[in-house]
Structure 1
Amino acid sequence: MGGLFPIHFPSGDSSSASPCGPVWPQALEWVEAMLYAIDRINADPDLLPGVELGYDIRDTCLSETLGLDEAIDLIITAVI
């Protein structure tokens, strides 16, 4: 499962090498919710017998451009 989350706020500094600024605590709760759901699904032997879900979490830093780049990379990584 792929997850795109704004784990960091944008840096607000266009000259910065990274588009990411400080951590957004609420976004960490969303990540934890996804991980919890995947753990619950994997723990239920009747739900998806013989299948174990994994995850790949990506940070978008609230950037549409970075989010699109990460989404494309998730797809490419999943196919290869």
Structure 2
Amino acid sequence: MSEVAKYTSEQIQQHSTREDIWIVVHGKVYDVAAFLDEHPGGEEVILEHAGIDATEAFEDIGHSEDAHDLLKLKQSR
């Protein structure tokens, strides 16, 4: 069984540029840099949550079931 990586908030905050952007959703870390150009709400929404916990924003916006499925499929860090 593979070990789950653990990151400090300081480590996650270091990944907050357009080229290297991590967000946290429901306690899992996601590298979303490749998704910026495809995000239906625009890249600004993701960039605004770069390096921080985006769970509340993710849930508040009412993402589709497809968006939730993408998170499940996306390899978290």
TM-score (norm 1): 0.27
Greater RCO, CA 8 A, separation 6+: 1
TM-score (norm 2): 0.28
Larger Rg belongs to? 1
